[in-house]
Structure 1
Amino acid sequence: MRILHLLNHTRRLNGHVHAAVDLACAQSALGHDVMIASEGGDFDDLLARKGIETSVISHQRKPLAVARSLNAARRLVRSWRADLVHAHMMTSAVLAWPACKLAGIPLVTTVHNEFERSAILMGLGTRVIAVSEAVSQSMQKRGISAARLRVVLNGTIGSARFEGRSRVPQELASPSILFVGGQHPRKGLPDLFEAFAIVHARHPAARLYIVGEGPYLDAYREMVSKMDCADAVTFAGAQEDPFQWMAGADIFVLPSHADPAPLVLSEAREAGCAVIGTTVDGIPQLLEQGEAGILVPAKDPARLADALIDLVAKPAHLQLWRDRSQTNIGHLTIERVARETLDVYASALTKGR
């Protein structure tokens, strides 16, 4: 099969980019011809090594740029002889839809960021992939029929991005609590800071590590600097591969207010952390509905603190949840994601006949 992926760029530190790159590499490994058309970025060398072609299509939203990109997408679909196009962002779907119509081939879209209003544009797809059951239900409420939706839960284990990665744990003071992600309000970091202040007051040896960057990083640093636990919090910034931090951590926390299906949870589980996540969007599904990780309500620092204290104060309980993080972990492989996605393609191609 000739599969053309369309997304805005291939730069690091964006979850949808990681998911698309992982999928393209896995599809190529399964013997398919794969191309990624985008504005390019950090992963282009990896894609080339994996036999994946790349092409440049601008995703600027200015009228003249959009017109040019529409023409570029149409020409690429025809000249590369794609069997289908897989669009990963809203602008990508808009650019791909007329090209697919003219070529008579299916458009498959993936809803990575369901919380954005423009996600409804992913309904342009012949088939629409939701990255969790929660996202599927949300998109149905927004008018996309269940007949066109398919759920393919995110997973990263075995990703080509991780080949040759070091598994030597980062040395962290124990008990260690780790967050990895963007510094955005929807990630709920102020809740974690408030919860950690409660934990640290009772267990002064506890340490909190924050890996990642984003527009609120300076504000969060300032917020923590005024807290009594400030000396126990480390802002490590962005890391090219945070797996070593996960491998060195006792507890991984994701206090999100909204998170369709965060890839970081499969990495934290693979690293063997005890995991705490909030009961929003795809997080419960990625934690086996509480079997593989502790679930707490979002926006509730007191409940989060209780869960953390239980693990910090009870080494046996901490080990129990480390072990439980491995529950059904084989379901989080990129090979499974690739094969399920190919099943969606087959359904789209059959519909188009």
Structure 2
Amino acid sequence: MRVLVVTHEASRSGAPRVAQMVVRALAREGHAVSVLSCRPGPLLPEFAALAPTSVAVLPRVRRRLTGSRWLHHVGRELDVVGAWVDLLRHRADLVYVNSGAAGAYVRAARWWPRRRTILHVHESAAVLTDLLAGAGVRRIPDDVELVACSPSVHADLVRLAGRPEEQVALLVSVPDEDRVFGLAGRAGAAPSIGEVVVGCCGSVEHRKGVDLWLRAAREVLAELPDASVRFVWVGDGPVPTAQLDSRIRFAGPSDNPYPAMASFDIATLPSRDDPFPLVVLESMLLGVPVVAFGVGGVPDQIGDAGVVVRPGDVAGLADAIRRLVLDPVARRELGDLARRRVLSEFSGADFERTLQKVVAR
């Protein structure tokens, strides 16, 4: 088939990286795959290395209008028209929409009755509902094949779409092992001898819990004033500057965050909402123990190979970090257990087999 994979962006976040795995797997099956990104981004060259890749028509204009308070409705319809033009250019048999954030393509694809559509959802119910409503999709059409990235998202989709469980596919996100190991192997800054680095990788924003992470970091540093410990956040976004301890650092975005992630002694996930964060599995794959709030599918990811804390429990997050800072043996054991869990439970081969079944159906 001619398959068009639509990624809502070409950033280094989780959903576009899953889209790369989808593109690679479909191409291996012999499909004629092309990629459309709704906006430019640093992953475009990597997509282009896998399949012919283009950017949506008028991406900045469409984004500006849909984000406008006064012109939102006009912008929404223009966005759908732009999506229709994009689909007209590609003439695919199957449109694979990788994220509810590209909901305009779900609407536009329905204007082509012979084209089948897959919507691969990486968002929680509340976020997905807002994204689809913003694209003018009030109800998920019955002829759109639904794919969930995690068990929690699967349950959300069954409820939102009103479908039997077996009619919503579960394609659990997995890390790209070769890519992660290859990029992590490049030279990166190593922590000082004896220093414990507590890291976080993600956008610096409210949903990712940057304020909660800062509170936990300050609690740990206050309880361990003489310990050689440093907190590092790698990711793009406005850096909080108020009352930052010298042992707390925001490193900014990185073209390759994996060396930094591999240098963490403890990885953290303080998110308020994160259905199935790929960064958790990637940290585990690198042998780094993870301390995380139990949001979305995070407990399913970590199992007993890390520490899961009640969502929003800053004191619990700080306590778990503190205990691992003081216990290098536990860090090493959890890191080894984490790597084994990912390799056995979240394999790329399983991902590709499930994807083949979804596309065949």
Q: TM-score band, normalised by the shorter chain?
A: 0.7 to 0.9
SS at match of 2:280: helix
1:91, distance to aligned residue in structure 2 (A) = 5.8
Matched, 1:264 2:279: yes
Partner of 2:198 in structure 1? Answer: 177
Q: Structure 2 CA distance, aligned partners of 1:45 and 1:118?
A: 30
Q: Structure 2 CA distance, aligned partners of 1:88 and 1:169?
A: 31
TM-score (normalised: structure 2): 0.83
When structure 1 is superposed on structure 2, of 133-142 and 333-342 the one drifting more is 333-342
Whichever residue aligns with residue 151 of structure 1, its letter is L
Distance 1:323 1:184, change over 3 A: same
Q: Structure 2 CA distance, aligned partners of 1:68 and 1:134?
A: 33
TM-score (normalised: structure 1): 0.84
Matched, 1:151 2:163: no
Alignment match of 2:351 (pick from 320, 325, 337): 337
Q: Structure 2 CA distance, aligned partners of 1:310 and 1:74?
A: 53
Partner of 2:158 in structure 1? Answer: 140
Partner of 1:187 in structure 2? Answer: 208
Partner of 2:16 in structure 1? Answer: 17
Q: Structure 2 CA distance, aligned partners of 1:123 and 1:159?
A: 35
1:81-120 equivalences under 5 Å are 82-90=92-100, 92-100=102-110, 102-114=112-124, 115-116=126-127, 117-119=129-131
Q: Structure 2 CA distance, aligned partners of 1:247 and 1:27?
A: 30
Partner of 2:335 in structure 1? Answer: 322
1:1-353 equivalences under 5 Å are 1-10=1-10, 12-38=11-37, 39-50=39-50, 52-58=51-57, 60=62, 61=66, 62=75, 65-66=78-79, 68-78=81-91, 82-90=92-100, 92-100=102-110, 102-114=112-124, 115-116=126-127, 117-119=129-131, 121=137, 123-124=140-141, 126-145=144-163, 146-158=165-177, 163=182, 166-168=185-187, 170-173=189-192, 174-203=195-224, 204-214=227-237, 217-218=238-239, 220-222=240-242, 224-225=243-244, 230-287=245-302, 290-330=303-343, 331-347=345-361
When structure 1 is superposed on structure 2, of 90-99 and 1-10 the one drifting more is 90-99
Per-residue deviation, residues 166-216 of structure 1 (Å, max 9, x unmatched):
3445312421100111111121222222222222223232211111122xx
1:105, distance to aligned residue in structure 2 (A) = 2.9
Q: Structure 1 CA distance, aligned partners of 2:334 and 2:30?
A: 38
**8 Å contact 1:198–1:305 — kept in the other structure?**
yes
In structure 2, the gaps of 5 or more residues are 67-74
**8 Å contact 1:273–1:322 — kept in the other structure?**
yes
1:165, distance to aligned residue in structure 2 (A) = 5.3
**8 Å contact 1:131–1:153 — kept in the other structure?**
yes
Q: Structure 2 CA distance, aligned partners of 1:184 and 1:123?
A: 29
Q: Structure 2 CA distance, aligned partners of 1:302 and 1:86?
A: 42
1:261, distance to aligned residue in structure 2 (A) = 0.8
1:7, distance to aligned residue in structure 2 (A) = 2.8
**8 Å contact 1:209–1:233 — kept in the other structure?**
yes
Q: Structure 1 CA distance, aligned partners of 2:76 and 2:159?
A: 31
Per-residue deviation, residues 106-152 of structure 1 (Å, max 9, x unmatched):
21001122241335548336211111111111223334413431111
1:258, distance to aligned residue in structure 2 (A) = 0.7
Whichever residue aligns with residue 199 of structure 2, its letter is L
Q: Structure 2 CA distance, aligned partners of 1:70 and 1:239?
A: 30
Paired-residue identity, %: 23
Distance 1:108 1:190, change over 3 A: same
Whichever residue aligns with residue 158 of structure 1, its letter is E
Whichever residue aligns with residue 284 of structure 1, its letter is P
Q: Structure 2 CA distance, aligned partners of 1:67 and 1:154?
A: 28
1:345, distance to aligned residue in structure 2 (A) = 1.2
1:250, distance to aligned residue in structure 2 (A) = 0.7
Q: Structure 2 CA distance, aligned partners of 1:320 and 1:47?
A: 36
Q: Structure 1 CA distance, aligned partners of 2:146 and 2:131?
A: 11
**8 Å contact 2:212–2:270 — kept in the other structure?**
yes
**8 Å contact 1:168–1:244 — kept in the other structure?**
yes
Q: Structure 1 CA distance, aligned partners of 2:43 and 2:100?
A: 21
Per-residue deviation, residues 205-246 of structure 1 (Å, max 9, x unmatched):
2211111122xx33x232x42xxxx01111111111111112
In structure 1, the gaps of 5 or more residues are 348-353
Cα root mean square deviation, aligned: 2.5
Q: Structure 1 CA distance, aligned partners of 2:336 and 2:12?
A: 29
Partner of 1:350 in structure 2? Answer: none
Whichever residue aligns with residue 338 of structure 2, its letter is S
Q: Structure 2 CA distance, aligned partners of 1:57 and 1:169?
A: 35
